A and B are shown apart, each in its own frame.
Chain A
Amino acid sequence: MLSIKHVSKRFGGLRALSDVNVDAERSCVTAVIGPNGAGKSTLMNVISGFITADEGSVSVDAAETLGLSPHRMCASGVARTFQNLQMFSDMSTVEAVVTGRARHRKASLVANLLMTPAVRREEEEAFASARDLLTAMGVPESFWRRRAGDLPYGLQRRVEIARALATEPSYLLLDEPAAGLNDNESAALGEALVKLAQQGIGVVLIEHDIELVMNVSSRIFVMDAGTVIASGSPAEVRANPDVVAAYLGAEDD
């Protein structure tokens, strides 16, 4: 279980997060929703190690991880995507995904510099698994050798998820993956996320697309002004008057 307990974070006078409790199970999709400025992205950055919280605890499968640097968070099984694309634009698409396998490369630096047969084998394996991930995420083969930065926006989003999956995470944090996608793409993304959960990954979804969230999530946390105001199944959250007032009401108008 990915568990966030009593996490608070201040930026100067602004309380970005105060006493936030969120937890996400393996094998299901957990969504965090809320209006702009609710603190969702800050929470995401705290979990993935890009921001250190002032108080509280973050643990991955019972191991405390608060304060670890991002690359160590990755090693403890948390992968993420970014709200604004962070693509390795000048690499080929397949290489961008291969880069995601960094933490699973066993060969030492010296072995790499000498390009030993073991390193060559590892490269072959990394490329094979990258191709599998690109196939799984529905990136057509004709794009694999293209410059990653030249791909259409929707495809880059999928490449970013494939890259995160290449780290073989236990938990996958997605920061607004459906932003900028059309309805079809968004629905396809939802299917892909459910499939990932079925494979045992704990998917944590931060998203504005309520349709998508309601369709795929088994648990939803609603944030507003840095606190969690409600949580529960999609039906429960939909029925919660606080949520309707803070967030969903504006959507329904």
Chain B
Amino acid sequence: MEITASPSSSVPAATAKRTGITLSADRKLTLVLMVVFPICALLAPNSFYKSVLVFAMINAIAAVGLCLMLGFAGEISIGQAAFYGLGAYVTAFLANQFHIEPVLAICAGAAAAMVIGWGISRPLSRLHEHYLAMATLAFGIITYIVFANARPFTGGLDPGTSVGKFAILGFDLSSMDRYFWVVWVALGVASLLAGNVAATQVGRALLAVKMSAPAAASVGIDVVRAKAFVFAIGALLTGLSGGLYAYFARSFNASTFGIGYSIELLMMVVLGSLSRVSCAIVGAFIITILPVLFEHFDDYKTLVFGITMVLIMKFLPSGLVEGVFSLASRLVRRKDD
């Protein structure tokens, strides 16, 4: 039994006959990606490419979080780097100061981000669209300034902070080969969770709030609570991704958590899809890999991202990957006729 909550698909799957367990197209594609990633890791010619792959998967977790916020609830956030940074710093701080298990430190980092996400959703709950964009942008800038200046905790911009090796119960998993599987599991859990949101009334309530807040309220959906939930879960996933990043980079400084990262995350989701978890993962992959494929890409990144963003918003408002998929499925259907 599965109900798609994909706003842009013209034929929502499996609502008429639902016998046994069927998977939505989104889940199937996510499953395929979860199989493709290990194959890519096996085929990676050297550890550099493997680390790019791991980084892409870390970003994908954050992108899935933003996909729920922006794609389902229509809550735009240009301050996701704040949650990413919170996850990373809380993880590093707990691991360094109290020497707790890395897994627990990462979970605590994610939980801290979730609490902050839930907290800021309250004052933001009356804001829409570009006002919300401005407010979250401001939130991102403020947290960046805090990260850069609270040097006793974060190490600021220089020297930054560093963490030990990732291990579970003393078993060293810090090599890229092993850490890949740690991130793989985390991405699997994140997309399963997001898929469950999409497939149940939780996701439907978020979509309802996006499509018509008055109508959502009129059928008993607490709009403020729904927004708080989506901010909390978006921050949770982004914080998780930040904690994983801390053990991935091992040494990092506040510059990682600036507006640039928030915008890259936004690009991943817009490029991928506003309504499908799997496409957001593909988007994260593309945005992470582009700078690797093109040597001088970083010089033109802002320009290219800016132009692509405008073009996608204009011509494929549901996302590039999503748009290509629906175009392809339309062509296939036409052939069938």
Residues on A lying within 8 angstroms of B by beta carbon are: 48-50, 69-71, 74-75, 79-80, 82, 86-92, 94-95, 98-103, 105, 109, 112-115, 119-120, 122-124, 126-127, 144-147, 160, 163-164, 166-167
User: How far is it, in angstroms, between the C-alpha of A183 and the C-alpha of B12 when the chains are bound?
Assistant: 33
Interface residues of B in 169-220 (CB under 8 A from A): 193, 196-197, 199-202, 204-205, 207-208, 211-212, 214-220
20 contacts between A and B (CB under 8 A): A71-B217, A74-B217, A74-B219, A86-B218, A88-B212, A91-B204, A99-B219, A99-B221, A102-B205, A109-B229, A113-B196, A113-B197, A115-B196, A119-B200, A120-B1, A144-B15, A145-B11, A146-B10, A167-B219, A167-B220
Instruction: From A69, A124, A145, A166, give the contact of B217 (CB < 8 A).
Output: A69
- Contact indicator A99/B201 (Cβ below 8 Å): yes
- Contact indicator B218/A70 (Cβ below 8 Å): yes
Whether, in the assembled complex, B28 has its beta carbon less than 8 Å from a beta carbon of chain A, the answer is no
User: How far is it, in angstroms, between the C-alpha of A149 and the C-alpha of B56 when the chains are bound?
Assistant: 37
- Contact indicator A89/B200 (Cβ below 8 Å): no
Interface residues of B in 3-42 (CB under 8 A from A): 3, 5, 7-8, 10-12, 15-16, 18
User: How far is it, in angstroms, between the C-alpha of A98 and the C-alpha of B15 when the chains are bound?
Assistant: 11
User: How far is it, in angstroms, between the C-alpha of A164 and the C-alpha of B212 when the chains are bound?
Assistant: 14
Across-interface contacts of B16 in A (CB, < 8 A): 144-145
Across-interface contacts of A109 in B (CB, < 8 A): 202, 229
User: How far is it, in angstroms, between the C-alpha of A54 and the C-alpha of B225 when the chains are bound?
Assistant: 26
User: How far is it, in angstroms, between the C-alpha of A74 and the C-alpha of B196 when the chains are bound?
Assistant: 26
In this complex, which of B5, B10, B12, B214 has the most chain A Cβ atoms within 10 angstroms of its Cβ?
B12
- Contact indicator A105/B201 (Cβ below 8 Å): yes
Instruction: From A50, A112, A119, A147, give the contact of B214 (CB < 8 A).
Output: A50
Interface residues on chain B, number (Cβ under 8 Å): 35
- Contact indicator B204/A90 (Cβ below 8 Å): no
* With known contacts A112-B202, A113-B193, A100–B212 Cβ distance under 8 A: no
User: How far is it, in angstroms, between the C-alpha of A101 and the C-alpha of B7 when the chains are bound?
Assistant: 19
Question: Nearest A residue to B202 by beta-carbon distance?
Answer: A112
Top 5 nearest A-B pairs (CB, nearest first) are: A103-B220, A90-B7, A70-B217, A86-B215, A74-B220
Determine how close the nearest CB of chain A comes to the CB of B193; give it in whole angstroms.
Answer: 6
In this complex, which of B7, B223, B229 has the most chain A Cβ atoms within 10 angstroms of its Cβ?
B7
Question: Nearest B residue to A105 by beta-carbon distance?
Answer: B201
Across-interface contacts of A82 in B (CB, < 8 A): 214-215, 218
* With known contacts A90-B207, A91-B7, A100–B1 Cβ distance under 8 A: no
In the complex, besides A102-B208, A113-B202, 15 extra interface pairs with C-beta distance below 8 angstroms are A50-B217, A71-B220, A74-B220, A79-B218, A82-B214, A90-B207, A91-B5, A99-B201, A102-B201, A102-B221, A112-B197, A119-B200, A123-B201, A147-B10, A164-B219
Determine how close the nearest CB of chain A comes to the CB of B26; give it in whole angstroms.
Answer: 14
- Contact indicator A91/B12 (Cβ below 8 Å): yes
Whether, in the assembled complex, B222 has its beta carbon less than 8 Å from a beta carbon of chain A, the answer is yes
User: How far is it, in angstroms, between the C-alpha of A115 and the C-alpha of B197 when the chains are bound?
Assistant: 9
Instruction: From B5, B201, B205, B207, give the contact of A126 (CB < 8 A).
Output: B201
Across-interface contacts of A160 in B (CB, < 8 A): 215
User: How far is it, in angstroms, between the C-alpha of A70 and the C-alpha of B209 when the chains are bound?
Assistant: 13
- Contact indicator B211/A90 (Cβ below 8 Å): yes
User: How far is it, in angstroms, between the C-alpha of A99 and the C-alpha of B202 when the chains are bound?
Assistant: 10
In this complex, which of A98, A102, A164, A167 has the most chain B Cβ atoms within 10 angstroms of its Cβ?
A102
- Contact indicator A74/B204 (Cβ below 8 Å): no
Across-interface contacts of B214 in A (CB, < 8 A): 50, 70, 82, 86
- Contact indicator A127/B18 (Cβ below 8 Å): yes
Q: Mark B212-253, 1 if CB is under 8 A from A, else 0.
A: 101111111111000001000000000000000000000000
User: How far is it, in angstroms, between the C-alpha of A48 and the C-alpha of B215 when the chains are bound?
Assistant: 11
Determine how close the nearest CB of chain A comes to the CB of B329; give it in whole angstroms.
Answer: 15
